[in-house]
Amino acid sequence: MNTDDYSRRRFVRRGLTLAGVAFAWSTFQSNSFARQAKVKSPTNPDEALAELSAGNKRYVTGKNIHRDFGPERPALAEGQQPFAIILGCADSRVAPELAFDQSRGRLFVVRLAGNFVDDNGLASMEFGASVLGACLIMVLGHNECGAVKAAVNVVTKNAQLPGHLPGLVANLRPAVEKAQQETGSLVDNAIRYAPEGGRIDLAVEAGADGAVFRVDDTGPGIPPDQRERVFDPFYRALGTDEFGSGLGLSIVKTIADRIGAGVSLGQSGSGGLQVAVSIPRSLICQGSG
């Protein structure tokens, strides 16, 4: 055997060894994905919503389980089985796969600044539902949305926007105009968040400086570190599952600021929320002449 033959054999053997490693790695990847594929996929809207809610709780508490995306690649090349369609905003901070802790192939996402739907978005969602079999459609809004803020500024301050933004904002305008007609009611808000069979106490207390109107409920309350933020339009307290626009307290605060009244939040005797509106005596006197 000459030196060339020896080198060739070593090369071939090394090649075979590398091929073996590659085969073992690809088998590991396939097995790994096979394990993932066995993860039960929701088959109805209730299960789908529960899965999204559970994933969001993992995300909020920093316990995400979907962090390694490599093993899922081979099977993803062969197909997808999304169980939910998400209509979300293009905002860089609200990536649905991360916010709901889902691996790729499980969410069919349509994103546009302001998360509204146009014909193309609707066609995409139809594809996700009728062809891919997703059983839930979620419209995902978020706080501090630049597109919504721009639309509010256009409607309330006649703001002028550059480029194609006026066309985008025109789609959001009806929602902003509808929200303007909402009346912020502390009692409505308390009823919305009080549990079934809960209790709401209303009280008016007269003092030397004016009057204080208090609303106490037996709902979940708002943690002290979030009490300032709930006055922001569209802000929803973390962990709140109740449906709402996030405008109620914002509107109350805006009205109170305009008339010179004060609004403060605290904890009711039952651990729920207490909202106190302080009305200066000067305002009360104005009303009675």
Interface residues with Zn ion (CB under 5 A)? 89, 91, 145
Contact 273, 190 (CB under 8 A): yes
Report in angstroms how near the CB of residue 146 gets to Zn ion at its nearest.
Answer: 6
Report in angstroms how near the CB of residue 142 gets to Zn ion at its nearest.
Answer: 6
Report in angstroms how near the CB of residue 228 gets to Zn ion at its nearest.
Answer: 22
Contact 180, 126 (CB under 8 A): no
Given the complex with Zn ion, which of 91 and 101 has the nearer CB atom?
A: 91
Phi, psi of 13, rounded to the nearest 5 degrees: -65, -45
Given the complex with Zn ion, which of 135 and 151 has the nearer CB atom?
A: 151
Non-local (6+) Cβ contacts of 43 within 8 A are: 83, 135
| Token output for 233 | 């339009």
- Say whether 84 sits in a helix, a strand or coil: strand
Given the complex with Zn ion, which of 97 and 217 has the nearer CB atom?
A: 97
Given the complex with Zn ion, which of 33 and 116 has the nearer CB atom?
A: 116
Report in angstroms how near the CB of residue 103 gets to Zn ion at its nearest.
Answer: 24
Q: For residues 82 and 139, give the distance between their C-alpha atoms in angstroms, rounded to a whole number.
A: 16
Given the complex with Zn ion, which of 144 and 242 has the nearer CB atom?
A: 144
Given the complex with Zn ion, which of 138 and 145 has the nearer CB atom?
A: 145
Burial environment of residue 89 by CB neighbours within 10 A (0 to 12, 13 to 18, 19 or more): buried
Report in angstroms how near the CB of residue 52 gets to Zn ion at its nearest.
Answer: 19
Report in angstroms how near the CB of residue 181 gets to Zn ion at its nearest.
Answer: 22
Please, what's the b/e burial string for 63-78 (b: 16 or more CB within 10 A of its CB; e: otherwise)?
A: eeebeeeebbeebeee
Burial environment of residue 51 by CB neighbours within 10 A (0 to 12, 13 to 18, 19 or more): buried
Given the complex with Zn ion, which of 75 and 159 has the nearer CB atom?
A: 159
Residues forming beta bridges with residue 139, ordered by sequence position? 87
First to last CA, the chain: 117
Report in angstroms how near the CB of residue 113 gets to Zn ion at its nearest.
Answer: 6
